[in-house]
Amino acid sequence: VSKKYVYLCSMKVNITRQDITFYGLQVAAWLAFLMVPAISAFIATHSWSGAMSAFNFNARVHWTSAAIYFVNALILVPWGYYRNRRWMFWLGNAIILAALVYGFFYNFNPDSFAENIPNERYRQYALSSFYASAFLAIFMSAFLAGIALLVHHVRRSMVINRQLKEEQQKRTEAELEWLKNQINPHFLFNTLNNISSLTQIDADKAQDSIAQLSDLLRYAMYETNKPLVSVSGEVEFMRNYIELMRLRCNERTTVSTEFAVANPDTQVAPLLFISLVENAFKHGVSSSKPSQIEISLTESDGTITFTCDNTNYPKSDSDRSGSGIGLENTRRRLELLYAGRYEWEQSLEDNIYHVKVQIGKNS
C-alpha cells in the first residue's frame, strides 16, 4: 500500500464550507436537470396531462439517477472504495442495479403508462421509448457510479495536494526560521571575536564597539521578526556593521562602500546579505598584506543588487572565527524565498573573490 493511500485513509472526516458548497451545487444542478423533462414533454404533446405523465415517469427515472449518484458520492465511494472496503462499493452498486431492474419490470406497467397520452402516434413512441429508457437507466446506474468515483477521486486529490502544499509551506517557514536563527549567533560570534581583539589593541575603540554592537543586536532581535523588512533598514544595519568591522582593520586595509536606494520602502528578507559581508571581512583581510573590500548595495525599480569584491586570504587552521555556515545559509534562504527570482554570481580571479546577488522582478 502506498504512503499516499495510507495518508488518504487516515484523514479525518471534516465537513467544511467548501464541502457544503461543492455538494450544494451538485444538488442544484440535479434539480435544474429535472425541469428539462417537463419542458420537453409539453412541447411534444401540447397537453398538460400528457406532459405531467411523461414528467412523472422521467422524474422518477432521474430521481433514481440522482439517488444512485449521491449514494455513491456520499457513502459507497468514500466509506467503501477509499476505506479499503471495496467489496462494500461493488455490493452496494449490485444491490442498486437489482433494485432498479425490479422497479422497471415489476412496478411500471407500459400500458397504463401510455394510456394517458391522447395522441396515438406519441403513445406508440412512448411505449418504444419505455424499454429504451429502462436499458438507459441501467447503463446510467453504472455510469453514475463511475462519475461519482471520478469526482470523489479528483476532489480528494485536490484536497490532498492542498494539504501537502500547506505542510510544505510550514516546513519551509520552519527551515527559514531555523536558518535566520543561525545567523544571529554566527554574527554575534564573529563580532565578539573582533571586540576581543580590540581590547588588546585599543580599549577605547573596544568600548565604542560594544555600544555599536548593542545597536546592531537591537535591530537583529526586534526588527527582523517580520518576514520582510525595508531595504533602508537593512542598509543602515549593514553600514553600522561595516563601521564596527573597520575598527579591527589596520592601515593596509581599504574598505569602500556604495549604497544607492531609489525606494527605501522596497521589501527584502531580513539579514539576507550580512553573511556575505561577514565573509568578506573574515577571508578578505590580512594582518600583514594589503587588503581590499568593496561592498555595494543598490535598489532600482524594485530590483536589489548586492555586490562584494574582496582580496582572498584562505582560512587557516588556527582561525577561530567560525565555520562557513553563513554562505550556505544565504544560498539556502535565497532558494527558499526567491526561487526563480534571484541571480547568484560567484568567482575567484587574480586572488579577488567576487559575489553578486540580484533579486527582484528584473532577475
Residue that the C-alpha cell 526588527 belongs to: 223
Structural domain spans, the chain: 3-168, 202-359
- Cβ atoms of residues 228 and 242 within 8 Å: no
User: Right CATH number for 202-359 from 1.10.420.10, 3.30.1600.10, 3.30.565.10, 3.20.20.70?
Assistant: 3.30.565.10
Sheet containing 352-359: order of strands: 253-261, 291-300, 303-311, 352-359, 342-349
CB within 8 Å of 159: residues ≥ 6 apart? none
CA distance 104 to 225: 70
Q: Which grid coordinates are listed for 111? A: 400500458
More confident residue, 344 or 97: 344
Kindly report which listed range (31-35, 115-119, 194-198) carries the lowest average pLDDT score. 115-119
Query: pLDDT by residue (tens digit) across 213-271?
Result: 777 777 877 777 788 999 999 999 899 889 888 877 888 899 999 999 999 999 999 88
- Cβ atoms of residues 353 and 312 within 8 Å: yes
Residue that the C-alpha cell 544565504 belongs to: 330
Residue 68 reports pLDDT greater than 50: yes
Residue 56 reports pLDDT greater than 60: yes
Mean confidence (pLDDT) of the chain: 76
CA distance 129 to 131: 6
CA distances 172 to 3, 162, 179, 229, Å, are: 21, 15, 10, 19
More confident residue, 183 or 93: 93
What single-letter DSSP state applies at residue 146? Answer: H
More confident residue, 85 or 113: 85
Query: pLDDT by residue (tens digit) across 292-325?
Result: 999 999 999 999 999 999 999 876 654 444 445 6
